[in-house]
Amino acid sequence: MAPIQPKRKPADTIKAVLNFEDELKRKQAEAGKRQQVWQALNEYITRRNGFLVSPPGQRFLRVEIPQPSSLADELHDLGYQLRPAGSNERIWGGRILPVSVFTFQIPPVK
């Protein structure tokens, strides 16, 4: 037989709802900041002829960098821990472009 749970008081219910709402607002704010970081990274990578191929707002990202390029080193210098994920080819400007693929994550935003 399961133990009898004490009844919740109305104040406890209100407190739980307020805590839930605060947590929801915090997560939405984090998602918004992560979206801004994604947009800035996408612009940075695109300007250096790379391709950020992960959907907007994701924390775990995949980038394709043309060979040869110093973009991987630049991202590393910015503090991102890139992990090699193989190579690929991309059609760009009417020609086949070999690219190195890397994965990395956006650090938790506050």
31-60 pLDDT, tens digit each = 888 888 899 999 999 999 999 999 987 889
Strand, helix or coil for residue 74: helix
Dist. CA 80–CA 77, nearest whole Å: 7
Asked, for residue 94, whether it belongs to a domain, the answer is yes
Examine the pLDDT at 19 and tell me if it is beyond 80.
no
Asked, for residue 2, whether it belongs to a domain, the answer is no
Give mean pLDDT, residues 7-16: 66
pLDDT score, position 39: 92
Provide the CATH number for the domain around residue 41. 3.90.1150
Asked, for residue 49, whether it belongs to a domain, the answer is yes
Asked, for residue 3, whether it belongs to a domain, the answer is no
Residue 4 DSSP symbol: P
pTM > 0.85: no
Show the beta-strand stretches assigned E in the chain: 51-52, 60-66, 83-92, 95-105
pLDDT score, position 75: 92
> What would the pLDDT profile of 66-94 be if each residue is shown by its tens digit?
988 899 999 999 999 999 999 999 998 89
Domain that holds residue 95: 10-105
Dist. CA 50–CA 44, nearest whole Å: 9
Dist. CA 84–CA 70, nearest whole Å: 14
Q: How many separate domains does the chain show? A: 1
